[in-house]
């Protein structure tokens, strides 16, 4: 996983899977599962609103990686790379 906070790029070990169904998106990692209620889907982009009422854009890339970007802080992002 790549974590970029707008200034520093940090690579972290993280394994898991992202799955999106019509109105729910799941992030599976280890024994934990996070569930997000989808607000909009546009092609490979999936949008949801987090607990802080911020819109988050998730891009499912053609290479199998997933990028998550908070629209309130667009210069910060997380990329979950496919091995």
Q: So where are the chain's domains?
A: 2-80
Looking at residue 69, its pLDDT comes to 94
Instruction: Write down the pTM of the prediction.
Output: 0.84
What is the rounded distance in angstroms from the CA atom of residue 2 to the CA atom of residue 17?
15
**pLDDT of res. 80:** 87
Tens of each residue's pLDDT in the chain, 83 residues: 788 888 888 887 877 888 888 899 998 887 889 999 999 999 999 999 998 999 999 999 999 889 999 999 988 898 888 76
């Amino acid at each position: 996983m790549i974590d970029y906070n707008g200034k520093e790029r940090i690579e972290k070990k993280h394994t898991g899977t992202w799955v999106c169904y019509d109105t729910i998106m799941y992030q599976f990692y280890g024994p934990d599962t996070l569930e997000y209620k989808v607000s909009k889907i546009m092609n490979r982009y999936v949008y949801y609103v987090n607990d802080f009422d911020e819109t988050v854009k998730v891009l499912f890339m053609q290479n199998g990686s997933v990028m998550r970007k908070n629209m309130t802080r667009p210069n910060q992002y997380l990329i979950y790379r496919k091995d």
